[in-house]
Structure 1
Amino acid sequence: MKDSLIYNKAFKFSIKVVNLYKYLCNEKKEIILSKQLLRSGTSIGANVKEGLFAQSKRDFLSKMNIVLKESSEAMYWLELLTATNYIDINTSKTILSECEELSKILVSIVKTTRQNLKND
């Protein structure tokens, strides 16, 4: 997996989400919203890894669409945690920026894969 840009970025993002979750639970005593972020944020990398071992291009496309939805959901929870002052603006900008970058890469992967399926 060392040569997969999307996997490496998703894995690093997952680590940040886990650390943010621990901070929110321990320091802010916030459990519910942060658990939602933990689930969606770590699901990105897990589904990317699964997609890299897809049985077909269609299976790969399906997994990448799931990953795109999970990144969108993670973005929502990050925005909500920021709006409710659980996450400070500097932390929010950094992690939201990474989530947005993942989403842009995923959109490109989905578009390219769809195009390749049409051309086959």
Structure 2
Amino acid sequence: MTNKMDEIRYKNPKKLKVLEKCMELNKMIYQLVKNFPADERYNIVSQIKRSCTSIGANITEGNSQMYKNREFSFYSISLGSLNETIYWLDVSLQNNFLSMQEYERINKLIEEIMKMLITMMKKLQSESA
């Protein structure tokens, strides 16, 4: 009979490909907002930076959870932050703070992250069933 404590293992979130993509997205967003109007510094800029960094932060925190339900919950929060980031990009595009080319380039990366995250969530669900 195996002890539950024997099953505990260290998971290194830095090995997740999705986190590499999140870091790439962060870099793109941080570069992009440097060109936004100064009066948006405490509005769109702070919101999109917060939502964007929240994606990877919650994946990292979720990946370190010992219980699958908690892990799933953090991934779900990341998914919400992804969608919030899309919203702020839409607002930025609508206000001409970025070009359609920049928007499409960032949105493509967001879609990649979303697919990877949903795959991780589906895997967790199947393991829990």
* TM-score, length-scaled by structure 2: 0.82
1:13 aligned to 2:25?
yes
Q: How does 1:1-120 map to 2 (within 5 A)?
A: 1-24=13-36, 28-29=37-38, 30-31=40-41, 32-118=43-129
The number of aligned residues is: 115
In structure 1, the gaps of 5 or more residues are: none
Q: Displacement of 1:22 after TM fit?
A: 2.5
Indicate the SS of the match to 2:34.
Answer: helix
Report the RMSD for the aligned CA atoms in angstroms.
1.4
User: In structure 2, what residue type is equivalent to 1:18?
Assistant: Y
Residues 45-85 of structure 1, C-alpha deviations (whole Å, 9 max, x = no match): 11111112112111111110010110011011111111211
User: In structure 2, what residue type is equivalent to 1:88?
Assistant: S
Q: Quote the sequence identity (%).
A: 27
- Separation of aligned partners in 1, 2:61 and 2:16: 13
- Separation of aligned partners in 1, 2:83 and 2:118: 11
In structure 2, the gaps of 5 or more residues are: 1-12
Q: Displacement of 1:96 after TM fit?
A: 1.1
- Separation of aligned partners in 2, 1:17 and 1:6: 16
